[in-house]
Structure 1
Amino acid sequence: MNTWSTQYTFTPFALSTTDSLPDLAMINLSDWGMVTLVGPDSKSYLQGQLTCDVVSLSADKSTVAGHCDAKGKLRTIMRVFHYQNGYGLVQRQSVMASQLPELKKYAVFSKTEITQSSAIILGLTGTQAQTTIDSHFNGDADVRHNDTATAIKVDNARWLIITTAEQADSVITNLAPTATLTTTELWNLYDIKAAQPRIDNTTELEFIPQAVNLQAVDGISFKKGCYTGQETVARAKYRGINKRAMYIVTGAATQCPQAGDALERSVGENWRKGGTVICGYHYADDQAIALVVLPNDLDDDSQFRFATTPDALWHKLDLPYDLNAE
């Protein structure tokens, strides 16, 4: 039950592999949170912390970005956009307790106030999502504002909606009163099909950005100045030190793969650890799909399994983007 909602209830949406996605769904993204930065030094401060080029980010766009440690390992992946008088950073709630203090670590030397927001984050998805946004927000930008909410375009079928606890019910009533109201699992499915990387607390500080395809979703600028972890990220690009990538895999399953779970791969007649789950989705007909970080030199016909269900073999699916594109 959502503590902020007095009018609406969000329930899991049972979906089999043969079902179509809802034409319009409103998703309670309670496992996502937002950090805000306000102050004259916010832009330059983020420029020195994140993998994206914050300086060139216009007010009508958003971008994916990573925040790394000094060794280039990801603390989090976030969506960055101009918000109110500063910036909004949407990321997984599970990393907040460990990542936010690191983001704040050097802020004492800059004029920026970094705060975990109490905003409500909703997702609007489906073939009718764009039309719905166009009907309630002026303009054609990828980041739009009205009196009650901010809308951020994720892709052609998805928008993030940022609002307050006081306004959330009325936003749903006005924006999408006939939408299917559901929980974060549907958003996870969209992320998996789009091969959109994320970091949870179970995978924090495990991967460099290229190991989860951050460069393929325009989350890394190789032309900006220095930022935390840049040396490792640049070396992975120019010296080819990265040996992993994130893939979509699917197979039979009785439960949903969880972030941090280990996937085994076949090596001849033997099995060994092959990769780490980033995000999973379990269908109602006992099939599942997941994002998994694997070695990037595996054969296309490689087989995979979870040790808990050794008879259920999994295989890779095609990615929606080219990992080798410049």
Structure 2
Amino acid sequence: MSTWSNALNFEHLPVASSDALPALSLVDLSDWSLVTLVGEDKKSYLQGQVTCDVVTLDPALSTLGAHCDAKGKMRTIFRIFHHQQGYALLQRKSIMATQLPELKKYAVFSKVDIEQGQDILLGLCGENAQAVIDQCFAGSDEVRPFDGGTAVKVDDQRWLIAVAPAQAEAVANQLATDAKLATSSLWDLYDIKAALPRIEAATELEFVPQAMNLQAVGGISFKKGCYVGQETVARAKYRGTNKRAMYIAQGDTAQCPQAGDALERSVGENWRKGGTIIAGYQFSDNQAIALVVLPNDLDEDTQFRLSTQPDNLWTTQALPYSLEDE
């Protein structure tokens, strides 16, 4: 049950691995959160902190990016967009308590206010999502400000809506017409199918950006100036120091794989740790799909299994984008 509205009941939407996804779903994204930045120095401050190019970000567009530590290990992956006279970074709520203080650490020297946003976050998904967005929010851009919030295009079948609590119920009721109501597990499924990376508390400070394919989804600028962790990120590109990548894996499961779970790989007749689960989704027919970071030089026919479920074999699936450098 959503905590901000008694009028709508968001429930887990059972989906079998062979099912088509609903034509329209409204998703409660209560396990996501925003970081907001406002103030005169917001652009220059953020430019020196993150992997994406904030200076050239068109107000009509959003982009992925990461905030790293000095060693180039990611504290978070976010989607950044212009929002309410500043910027908003959409990221997992589980890392907020540790990542936000690090992002604010040097803000005392700049004219910028960095806070956890109070916006209600909703997702609109499905083949009919674009038509509903066009009816509800004026404009043709991929980022559309409206009274009380911002609508942001994620992909061809998904939009994020960030709206102030005072307007949230009215906006949600408008979007919910003809839509199935779902918890954020449905958003997880879309993210996994699109192979969009994320950082949870269980995977914070574990990986460099290229280990989660951030360069392949437009989340790293190799032309901008210095930022925290840049040397490591640059070495991973120009010297080939990164030996891992993120893949989609699927297999039988008795329970949904969780971020941080270990996926073992077959080595002859033996099993060794192969990788780490980033996000998982369990279908209603005991199949599961997950994002997993693995060595990037494995044979295509390598088999995998969850360390906690050794009897169920997993295989990797094709990514929806290329990992080859341009």
Range of TM-score over shorter length:
over 0.9
Deviation at 1:136? 1.4
Aligned to 1:196: 196
Deviation at 1:164? 2.0
* C-alpha distance in 2 between matches for 1:168 and 1:316: 39
In structure 2, the gaps of 5 or more residues are none
Alpha carbons 1:245, 1:293 under 8 Å: kept: yes
Q: Give 1:62's aligned amino acid.
A: S
Alpha carbons 1:26, 1:181 under 8 Å: kept: yes
* C-alpha distance in 2 between matches for 1:167 and 1:234: 43
Q: Give 2:160's aligned amino acid.
A: L
Aligned to 2:141: 141
Deviation at 1:58? 1.0
Superposed counterparts of 1:6-21, under 5 Å: 6-21=6-21
Aligned to 1:231: 231
Alpha carbons 1:80, 1:87 under 8 Å: kept: yes
Deviation at 1:148? 3.8
Aligned to 2:80: 80
Aligned to 2:308: 308
* C-alpha distance in 1 between matches for 2:9 and 2:164: 17
SS of equivalent to 1:197: coil
SS of equivalent to 2:245: strand
Aligned to 1:161: 161
Aligned to 2:115: 115
Aligned to 2:289: 289
Alpha carbons 1:6, 1:169 under 8 Å: kept: no
Q: CA RMSD in A?
A: 0.8
Alpha carbons 2:26, 2:175 under 8 Å: kept: no
SS of equivalent to 2:177: coil
SS of equivalent to 1:265: strand
Count how many residue pairs are aligned between Structure 1 and Structure 2.
Answer: 326
Q: Give 2:173's aligned amino acid.
A: T
**Could you report, residue by residue, the CA deviation over 1:138-166 in whole angstroms, capped at 9, with x for unpaired residues?**
11101002224310000000000001222
* C-alpha distance in 2 between matches for 1:18 and 1:274: 27
Aligned to 1:24: 24
* C-alpha distance in 2 between matches for 1:140 and 1:325: 31
Deviation at 1:177? 1.6
SS of equivalent to 1:167: helix
Deviation at 1:176? 3.2
Taking every aligned residue pair, what percent have the same amino acid on both sides? 64
Deviation at 1:169? 1.5
* C-alpha distance in 1 between matches for 2:126 and 2:29: 16
**Could you report, residue by residue, the CA deviation over 1:69-123 in whole angstroms, capped at 9, with x for unpaired residues?**
0000000000001111110111000000000000000000100000111111000
Structure 1 stretches of 4+ moved >2 Å: none
Aligned to 1:100: 100
* C-alpha distance in 2 between matches for 1:315 and 1:303: 6
Deviation at 1:19? 1.1
Alpha carbons 1:305, 1:313 under 8 Å: kept: yes
Aligned to 1:250: 250
Aligned to 2:180: 180
SS of equivalent to 1:59: coil
Alpha carbons 2:83, 2:145 under 8 Å: kept: no
TM-score by length of 2: 0.99
* C-alpha distance in 2 between matches for 1:117 and 1:149: 12
* C-alpha distance in 2 between matches for 1:3 and 1:197: 27
* C-alpha distance in 2 between matches for 1:2 and 1:186: 15
Deviation at 1:318? 0.2
Q: Give 1:260's aligned amino acid.
A: G
In structure 1, the gaps of 5 or more residues are none
Superposed counterparts of 1:197-216, under 5 Å: 197-216=197-216
* C-alpha distance in 2 between matches for 1:324 and 1:89: 27
* C-alpha distance in 1 between matches for 2:2 and 2:187: 17
Q: Give 1:187's aligned amino acid.
A: W
Deviation at 1:127? 0.1
Q: Give 1:55's aligned amino acid.
A: V
Alpha carbons 1:4, 1:166 under 8 Å: kept: no
Aligned to 1:89: 89
Aligned to 2:265: 265
Deviation at 1:308? 1.9
Deviation at 1:194? 0.2
